């Protein structure tokens, strides 16, 4: 079993309601590129972490076309919410849709062999440009959600932990954030995140810091190919 990751698919139904090609030629036929990579590299025994901003849909029922397309691909898919995933609903509603081999991370974790995948959306961190009192509230709430996920995995006896976030948990300057401190506290082995595009990809920390390896997996930063994590 291998674990792969990709984020920021930004799907929008068929025909696309919001074609991503408006953001540059690199995004032309981007979903086709992702699917080709997915089918080449993922087996049914593998896991794919889908790190937020999956669909532009505003409501869950409208996102089902995109989610069903992802569900039809090989492997087990683990989703977290991104800042543009307005379709994200309650776990009960998302699970009731019966999407095969799909798992939604929200105050829970996913056990895979001896490992555990934890995660949540994350948020802007203090010191970010424009960080506001409202951001502070969301940031603290997201820290609590991430710790709930990590603590559940730890109580269940998992020490091989992967954390999936949408927002960067650590930036290029290496200054600690609440999210990186949780990685240290729970000895997270790999942390994957998306959200950063184009030139802003250089703002995120990539590589090892303390005991955690950080991976930027936004689709365009990977040339629309899945990244092998373990």
Query: Which strands, in side-by-side order, build the sheet including 212-216?
Result: 109-112, 115-119, 160-164, 190-193, 212-216, 207-209
22 has a pLDDT exceeding 70: no
The token duo for 2 is 């291998």
**Cβ count within 10 A of residue 213:** 18
User: By the 8 A CB rule, do 205 and 177 touch?
Assistant: no
In this structure, the number of other CB atoms found within 10 A of the CB of residue 20 comes to 21
Opening angle at CA 89, ends 32 and 98, nearest 5: 65
Tell me the C-alpha distance between 44 and 182, whole Å.
31
Q: Model confidence over 157-167: pLDDT tens digits?
A: 999 999 999 99
Flag whether pLDDT at 218 surpasses 70: yes
Beta strands 76-80 and 102-104, pairing class? parallel
Q: What is the largest CA-CA distance in the chain?
A: 47
**pLDDT at residue 25 in the model:** 78
Q: How far apart are CA 143 and CA 206, in angstroms?
A: 21
Q: How far apart are CA 40 and CA 44, in angstroms?
A: 12
Question: Using one digit for the tens of pLDDT, what is the confidence trace for 86-135?
Answer: 999 999 999 999 999 999 999 999 999 889 999 999 999 998 989 999 99
Average pLDDT over residues 172-176: 96
List the helix and strand counts (H, then E) for the chain: 5, 11
pLDDT tens digits along 191-216: 999 999 999 999 999 999 999 999 99
What is the reported pLDDT for 23? 74
pLDDT of 54 reads 98
């Amino acid at each position: 079993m291998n674990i792969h990751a990709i984020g920021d698919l930004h799907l929008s139904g068929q025909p696309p309601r919001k074609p991503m090609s408006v953001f540059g030629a690199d995004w032309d036929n981007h979903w086709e590129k992702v699917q080709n990579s997915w089918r080449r590299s993922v087996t049914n025994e593998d896991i794919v972490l889908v790190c937020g901003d999956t669909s532009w849909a505003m409501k869950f029922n409208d996102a089902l076309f995109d989610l069903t397309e992802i569900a039809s691909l090989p492997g087990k898919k683990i989703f977290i919410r991104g800042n543009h995933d307005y379709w994200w609903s309650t776990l009960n509603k998302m699970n009731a849709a019966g999407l095969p081999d799909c798992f939604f991370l929200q105050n829970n974790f996913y056990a895979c062999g001896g490992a555990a995948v934890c995660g949540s959306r994350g948020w802007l961190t203090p010191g970010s440009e424009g960080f506001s009192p409202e951001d502070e509230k969301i940031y603290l709430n997201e820290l609590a959600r991430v710790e709930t996920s990590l603590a559940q995995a730890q109580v269940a006896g998992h020490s091989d932990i992967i954390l999936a976030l949408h927002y960067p948990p650590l930036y290029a300057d290496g200054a600690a954030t609440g999210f990186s401190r949780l990685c240290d506290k729970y000895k997270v082995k790999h942390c994957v995140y998306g959200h950063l595009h184009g030139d802003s990809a250089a703002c995120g920390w990539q590589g090892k810091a303390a005991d955690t390896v950080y991976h930027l997996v936004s689709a365009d930063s990977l040339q629309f190919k899945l990244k092998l994590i373990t």
